[in-house]
Structure 1
Amino acid sequence: MTAFFDTPGLLPAFVSTNRSRVVGAGADPFEYDRVTGALQDLLDWPQALERAGRGHLARAVEAETAGHHLSAAAGYRTAAAWLHCATVLPHPDRDALARAEATADEAMGRALALTEPDAARIEGHGFVGWLRFPSGVVRPPIVVIVPGMDSSKEEFHDVADALLPRGVAVAAVDGPGQGLLATRSTPEPAYEKVMGALLDLLGARDDLDQDRVGVIGLSLGGFYAAVAAAREPRVRATATVSGPSSLDWSQLPPFVTETLTQRCGSADAARAFATQVRLDPLAATIPGPILVVDGGLDHIPGATNGAPLAQAAPHARYLLVPHGDHLLGNARPDWLPATTDWLATQLGADLPRP
């Protein structure tokens, strides 16, 4: 077994550390405690969380069959969150990861079909996701939601749900090595390539304002977002949440090194990727405004948080939430409304008409 799974006291520590993350993704906290409380070994995490997700999926199908579309949509979204969160550790069963992510993607699609029929599938070189529109807004600005190392487009419902009523369209995507693409591709540190391909696709539409593009990146997605802000001129405003300014492979904990090794395909490729996660050469070149959000309790060995980015970027604002953990799942009221307000303001978003 790998070094990560040999860590003493791993199961209770992993369950505790990931509680705010899974609950933030859409799981009920009491159900999380029941599901994880029954675990005897962390290797059983994927099966247990996938089973919970499939239970919600079955109930959503029953609700849809009975014509209860709101309940069905909520159930599909909850199922998608559980199914994705089943994948958030470097488990040796890669087929299970692919199966869970594919079912999560299908569940989110079914939810949107019931409640947001104008939502569109978007797919291109290096990305796949959903484009969602605010109601009552003509040619809205758009914000791209960029997930992190082991995240996916299904994890950040709350971010999208906060942006939409502020008059902003949302493109939530899986990029290389993420979500639906986790077993089909490897992470891309030159994320401006992914962002450029995505914005090229969106630029062909006449229902979006391509001159008002923002991006929010979470965890490693914060690094990707900052890279895109520096190198993709169409990005007008950027927010990062728990994003690293740099990684030091020699200091990173086994969870991170083993996850990157899986996602990159080998330890050598993962080390090479980690050496490219450095924002000091780029931060000063970011031309637009950037909001950097950190949690004061977010301490990952080998990962430098966002403060250096905020200090070096010429138009940066820094929001430190002292009691916030990684992704600040334990402190959403302290950053999510302010961050989505800030993005909407920077992009000149119009509030939806009643």
Structure 2
Amino acid sequence: MGPQPLPQVAALPPYVPGKPPTPRPGLRTYKISSNENPYPPLPGVLETAQAAAAEMNRYPDMGCSELYGELSSRLGVAEDELAAGAGSVALIFHLLAAFSGPGDEVVHAWRSFEAYPIAVAAAGATGIEVPLAPGARHDLEAMAAAITERTKVVLLCTPNNPTGAALSHAEVAAFVERVPSDVLLVVDEAYREFVRMDDPVDGLALRRAHDNVVLLRTFSKAYGLAGLRVGYAVAHPVVAAAVRAIAIPFGVSTIAQAAAIASLQAEDMLLERVEGIVAERERLVQGAAAAGWTIPDPQGNFVWLEPADLPGFLAAGEEEGLSLRPFADEGIRVTVAESEATNRLLALLERIPPPA
């Protein structure tokens, strides 16, 4: 027998990406399985990325100095409170590797972001999965009760991927007070730009008030840079330094850094696009309700469906040229995308009876 991976590596659950739609002759297909932004790059961003590509023979700026400078001025945080990574998912792996290990526990809701159990297992820690409460929301009372002396990290995903429900600021602020100061509380805000609920989480206020709070943000969703892989953490300088220390050197490419800065500078136009996606989400929610479907209050760029016949619903979606994202036998996540994709999904919801 040859070399064998560590047991926790061999047991890692697979990450399942959204698959592209099956080609349909004469029918335009839509990939609404990966929570991607349906719009092309913002004006000027592609040109900036192309210019940056001319220096691909050089290593990236490992210190992400220009990106940190732009984020620092916009967020009102010190540059030493920032850590960049290849998407916020890379930062999850970095944080858990830096702050947890064998014998330690990481508390998170389930179902939640699919990468959490993978990152926990990769760090050698033990995941404590807390079932969602009614409405597919985090059960903060149960999560607080799950914290023990072995807990090193607690993960909150708000809005929650894949169910879409978000936590309020009051809820999270009260929860933070119940988390020991030596336990890292990670607030994953990958979809924060799409939140339109009352009392949305003010992550920066939580971070300023608590040294153990870490914010995770990404340029993959609202900013439309999923293919370039860039995200960032806002944390206490000691925490941010640990993330930077453990990260793969030169992990954020020159092109990704340049495109992220250009996207931040085009933020007004970006927010107009986000409003368009939010409006399309509301049209989808209202149409689903009219067809008799009940779905969790969506605050991301996706909605969560629980059809009675999940395989049948997926097959019907394929016939309509829609690639959807199933999660085991629990439900289906659908990305809010082009208007025609919404039209076809609504036709599907009107034709297929909602669960009893």
Mark yes or no: TM-score above 0.5.
no
Higher relative contact order (CA 8 A, sep 6+): 2
Rg bigger for which structure?
2
TM-score, normalised via structure 1 length: 0.28
User: Greater helix percent: which structure?
Assistant: 1
